[in-house]
Amino acid sequence: HDVSLQRELASAYLKIGDLQGKPYSPNLGDTAGALESYKKAAAILESIVNLDPSCLELRFDLAAAYASIGALYSLRLRNRDEGVKILQKSRDLGEALLAADPSNTHY
């Protein structure tokens, strides 16, 4: 598998998801489509993070995908429990990124 190609594909799914239904941003109002796009991005990122867990940028992208999924569940789908569970995964990744590189303000 070409990791850079997979990362580009995941990035495209994140951008499509944002356009479809990112909360608190201009979007098309397609919550179901956004959730599907974000989940596809997360699945791709999970697989490439497993191949290269030391890549902090991939882990950051995965945390962003989880944050988007969690926000949709919590804010649009009114499934607070699922939203909190997924947002927790995003937070855990963020904390690990901060611990791995405390001087990087990007994460």
Q: Which of 84, 85, 73 is nearest to 38 (CA)?
A: 73
What's the one-letter identity of residue 4? S
| pTM of the predicted model as reported, rounded to 2 decimal places | 0.90
Query: Mind listing the pLDDT tens digit for each residue in 83-107?
Result: 999 999 999 999 999 898 888 776 5
17 touches 41 (CB < 8 A) = yes
Count of all residues that appear for the chain in the document: 107
Query: Mind listing the pLDDT tens digit for each residue in 50-61?
Result: 998 889 999 999
101 vs 6, which has greater pLDDT?
Answer: 6
Q: What is the pLDDT of residue 69?
A: 97
CA dihedral 74, 61, 20, 24 (to 10 degrees): 50
Mean pLDDT of 60-66: 96
Q: What is the pLDDT of residue 1?
A: 63
- The token duo for 13 is 């799914």
